[in-house]
Homo-oligomer: A and B are copies of this chain.
């Protein structure tokens, strides 16, 4: 029997009924009296100087309430890396120049959306078109057009990681693998396009309801772009229909809504269409990756030299973080005694790339896992065996970067081999030559980041608990559920701590003026660990207060442990001497002469290296069937063994796994942006192909439970890392099935046929 009541049990998502019945309110469902509707005029050119904008006709259109351009704004640049102001390279509305097709140039609000659209057509912009760069290579070519004056080489950022002695390491190698890889940009394809509503009050303060992963970051950056004090901005997160990293920055429409709400005195809504999202939206970084790894004959790694050129698009967005993390993930999974990473974030005249699920890992791991498979082949070793030989174990360190605490990687490898029948099936595939293949891919991921580029003055997460004599509690948390399920997880953690039921807990989330300061948002799989720890910290204070009441009531010796379970509080050795939770709160309140019982908890990761408090690990095996006539790849089965520490909600972890496989499948096989000189051509879900439920392979999975001492109840990351192993596992399986090695993505039927036919040059 589990020692827990709720932790580890399948707990239905608290948000499911409202979502299933349509009662859930997303940002676009918010309608305020007198609300105006906004539209944004975007650049039709990839690179141009703005010579003149004539808004007079648009402004004169009856029903149009305001038209603004960059010149009307305070012209404050924004970007999540506040700690390094020169990385903040984007204006809410373009000033002087546009840098990609879709760059925001002007905004209109009108009494209805049709009028706002009509007004857009009346804005006349004179541009001086400039030569543009549409690839990393073009941007880095000598004499290339300069996209931002402050970076004449178009390299916005160079991040390095280096430790050990690379020369010595390679000298020790018996075999050196040296390869280049190329991965492409893909869309977050969240179900809910972005929308927001802003309202101003008579003191000029702004409230913004917005579909975001990062209410606090939006609060900070919106305040600075508007020229307001931080706390003159309130950000409220309604129900969010997915983010996947695509909603973790301040965005132009949020600024425009707030600015125009202040200017007009009316509530203002902006909403994006699916086409807006696909044509102009953030995307995962396409990268060119160079990797050189030295191996001994037995497979032992001696050194790694890794380089990534990130196609950042027109602005930094979340690129700096992706650039660093890519190099971190390149050093993970295996023990690289000597390592060097050079990451270049490069401007191009394309929609900016940003954070996306995996945050540098899918790219780094497609390269390193594919290369590991290639090395195994070259050295005549089993791909899983070579991994086990080099696998990280608890206590491993990346000097100055990371410390691995809990780690079940080797167990994952062993388990996935066992459950998939690896040895026998892989050998059978190799022999049959009938288009069947089997491949392995692995991942490690962070449980939130230990970096403070936002330069926040607050703890990294917070929670407030109010306890009531009616036996209920109210949890106020700034944590941001964007569909990943943190509302449910945090409630589970609190219910477990206090011995209550899920329905005993009221939840208020992610409202920067109501929930306690502060939380850096939902990204890097940080919420369960960081938000959960803040909840536990607050719960511990509540428990301490109530334990005192029980001790007093039953005149207990102070050595007694006090238990909290099934709505009761009791000495664990004498559970008959119990008070209900409500009784204990009542007594505490009496003791405090009417003051309610309230506690706040906080969490800051400390002393754990520079990356994350905890790493997750996992291994995945894909079985594919390639149709050699059509080039179509059918993934027949996915096996996964992964270590996310203590599993808090098995059905939630399963959901994350399924979603990850779906995304990994799309990344591996079909999703891509078709671009023509900076213009995205596939801007609907008819053209931009995302796998559907019908495309999903059957799967089996096992959780290798470790206990992560830094995580709540031993839990760590479960939502993001799993997106990485799918593509390299499938690619390896296709290699086995076809005899052709793919080092680029996606592996479309066309490429498969070219590969089989010997027509590929990549």
Contacts and interface: CB of A to CB of B under 8 A. Distances in A.
Interface of A: 14, 17-18, 21, 23, 25, 29, 31, 33-34, 201-203, 205, 229-232, 234, 265, 456-460, 462, 466, 468-472, 474, 503, 506, 508, 513-514, 516-518, 586, 589-590, 593-596, 598, 600, 602, 604
A272 B31 CA distance: 23
Contacts of A468: 229-231
Contact of A589 (B18, B458, B460, B466): B458
A657 B152 CA distance: 70
Contacts of A462: 596
A34 B25 CA distance: 11
A14 B202 contact: yes
Contact of A466 (B201, B265, B470, B517): B517
12 contacts: A18-B201, A23-B265, A29-B33, A203-B506, A466-B517, A474-B513, A516-B596, A518-B596, A593-B604, A594-B604, A595-B600, A595-B602
B472 A231 contact: yes
Given A25-B33, A203-B503, A466-B517, 11 more contacts: A203-B506, A230-B468, A230-B470, A231-B468, A232-B470, A232-B472, A457-B586, A458-B589, A460-B594, A514-B514, A595-B600
Q: Among A23, A34, A201, A230, find the residue whose CB has the most chain B CB atoms closer than 10 A.
A: A23
Nearest to A229: B470
Q: Among A203, A586, A589, find the residue whose CB has the most chain B CB atoms closer than 10 A.
A: A203
A468 B513 CA distance: 12
A236 to B, nearest CB: 12
Contacts of A460: 594
Number of copies: 2
A471 B228 CA distance: 12
Contact of A506 (B14, B231, B503): B231
A596 B201 CA distance: 25
A594 B231 contact: no
The 3 tightest CB contacts between A and B, nearest first, are A459-B594, A229-B470, A17-B202
A518 B474 CA distance: 14
Given A18-B201, A458-B596, A593-B604, A508 B517 contact: no
Contacts of A14: 202-203
A550 to B, nearest CB: 19
Contact of A470 (B231, B516, B586): B231
Contacts of A459: 593-595
Contacts of A202: 14, 17-18, 23
Contacts of A604: 593-594
A600 B602 contact: no
A508 B503 contact: no
Contact of A472 (B229, B474, B514, B602): B229
Contact of A598 (B231, B457, B516, B590): B516
B503 A513 contact: no
Nearest to A459: B594
Given A229-B472, A516-B596, A602-B595, A33 B34 contact: no
Contacts of A25: 33
A456 B456 CA distance: 40
Contacts of A593: 459, 604
Q: Among A201, A457, A518, A589, find the residue whose CB has the most chain B CB atoms closer than 10 A.
A: A457
A265 B203 contact: no
Contact of A34 (B17, B23, B203, B590): B23
Nearest to A33: B29
A275 to B, nearest CB: 25
A642 to B, nearest CB: 31
Contacts of A265: 21, 23
Contacts of A232: 470, 472, 506
